[in-house]
Amino acid sequence: MSDAMLSALIGLAGAVCTSVITAVLGPVVVAYLQRPKPNIEVSAPVVENPNLPILAIVSLALGVITLCNFLTPPICGLPMSILGIVFGFSSMKSSNRGLAMAGMALCLIGLLIGCGNAAYGAYLGYQGQLFFQQ
């Protein structure tokens, strides 16, 4: 196995590992933020979860950061875009629904650009056209 093919496989494995970690970590964080409060009376009116508008803002911020960092897909581009999509989807029922939709759209664009960049980098690594020589 050549060095170029090995480096392409290592890069691809890193991208897969970070994507799996993000796919597991994102729903855990959302479930933690949306957990029920222990001392809520049954007769009290149900109030919107105060964390949902914050998640919409975080989703928008992650979308902007993802578009700025799309050149580093396995390191921070892909995990941040996946987390932004998860946070935006979980805050769709909040009062900041527009921010959540904008954050999800930016994160989806960043995810597509980052995946394309990772695929192009893997292709270049497979062809032996590395950006740096060892």
pLDDT tens-place string over residues 30-88: 777 777 766 655 555 555 566 678 888 888 888 888 888 766 656 777 888 889 999 99
Q: Determine if residue 106 is left, alpha or beta; phi over 0 gives left, psi from -120 to 50 gives alpha, anything else beta.
A: alpha
What's the sign of the alpha-carbon dihedral 65, 69, 73, 74? Answer: negative
What's the sign of the alpha-carbon dihedral 6, 83, 27, 115? Answer: negative
Tally the C-alpha atoms within 13 A of residue 18's C-alpha that lie toward its C-beta.
20
pTM: 0.59
**Cα Rg for the chain, rounded, in angstroms?**
19
Taking the C-alpha atoms of residue 60 and residue 82, their distance in angstroms, rounded to an integer, is 12
Q: Give the residue among 98, 68, 65, 71 at the shortest CA–CA distance from 84.
A: 65
Tokens representing 73 are: 């897909």
Over 60: is that where the pLDDT of 132 sits? no
Q: What is the pLDDT of residue 72?
A: 67
Tally the C-alpha atoms within 13 A of residue 27's C-alpha that lie toward its C-beta.
5
Taking the C-alpha atoms of residue 84 and residue 45, their distance in angstroms, rounded to an integer, is 30
Q: Assess contact for 107 and 63: CB atoms under 8 A.
A: yes
Higher-confidence position of 131 and 84 = 84
Tens of pLDDT, residues 93-118 = 888 888 889 999 999 998 888 888 88
E strands, the chain, are none
Tens of pLDDT, residues 58-74 = 888 888 888 887 666 56
